[in-house]
Structure 1
C-alpha cells in the first residue's frame, strides 16, 4: 500500500506555496486540473463545487468556471493560460469575477509544477500576486491545502498504486 503525506501549504505576504504527492502520472494530474474532470473532484457538499468548467488550453487561451457555494450562490472565476509545458508546467492567471471578501477582483497568477516521482507526481503550486492582501494569501494557503487533499483522494480512489 502506498502512503502519501498530507498536502502542505504556506503563505508569505505575496505568495502561496502548496505541494502534494499524488498517486498518478503527470498527464493524469494535468487532466484533473485543466479539463472538465475538475468538476468531479474540486469541492465538497459542505464548501463549494466547481461547475461549468471551460478551458481553451493553449497560450493565451482562456478558462472559466462557476463555483457553486454550499449556500447556493453561483460565483464565476476566470483567467488566461500564460505558459504551457506539458506535462511539466502550466501557468495561468486567476480572477474572481465577483467581489471576493479578501481579494476582490484582483488578478493573481498560479503556476502548477509537476515532477514525476516513481509512479507518483509531486505537484507544487506557486500562487502569487497577493501583495497588499495578506488575509487573502493566508486564506488561499488553507484553500490550496484543502484542494490538494481533495485531488489526492480523488486520484487515490481510482489509482491501482
Structure 2
C-alpha cells in the first residue's frame, strides 16, 4: 500500500526538475524497472503514451533509445547515452528527443537517478537538468516525472503484491 505522504512529488525551477518517490522495491529492482525492457511494461498509459522498443547498452558510454507511441498513434523516438552507472546508487544519462518536441525541440538534457535504500524499499530521486532557456519544458517535465513515478510505484507495488504469500 502506498501512503499519501509517499506519493510522487516533483517541482521545477527554470533549469532543473526534481522528482522523488518512495518505492516498495530494492534499489536493484528499481534500476531493472527503469533501465531494461521491463520499462515497456509500466511506463505509460492508454490515455497518454506507452514506451515501446526499448534498447540499452547499459555501460558508461553506452547508448539507449526508445520509441514512445502516443494515444493517437504517433511514434516519437528518444535517445541518449549513459554517463555514469553505479548500479543501486546512481545512474546518469543524457536524453534527447529525436523529433521536434513542442517545448524543448531536440535540446539534450541530463537525467540522474539517485537511489537510496530505505526500510520500506527505495527512495528514488530524479534530477533532470539542462532546461536553461526552456522554462515551459521544465514545468511540463515536472508534471511528467510525477506521473511516471506514480506508474513506477504502481508497477512495483503490484509486482511485489503478486509475489506475496496468501
TM-score tier after normalising by the smaller chain length = over 0.9
Q: Which runs of 5+ in 2 are unaligned?
A: none
CA RMSD of aligned residues (A): 1.1
Q: Distance in 1 between matches of 2:129 and 2:74?
A: 26
Q: Residue in 1 aligned with 2:73?
A: 72
Please, what TM-score do these two structures have when normalized by structure 2?
0.94
Residue matched to 1:123: 124
Shift of 1:119: 3.5
Task: Measure the CA separation in 2 of the matches of 1:124 and 1:68.
Answer: 26
Aligned residue pairs total: 161
Q: TM-score, normalised by structure 1?
A: 0.97
Uncovered stretches (5+) of structure 1, i.e. residues with no partner: none
Distance 1:157 1:54 in 2: 24
C-alpha distance in 2 between matches for 1:26 and 1:18: 16
Shift of 1:2: 5.9
Query: Structure 1 CA distance, aligned partners of 2:2 and 2:152?
Result: 16
Distance 1:2 1:93 in 2: 30
Q: Tell me, yes or no, if the aligned pair for 2:90 and 2:114 is still in contact at 8 Å.
A: yes
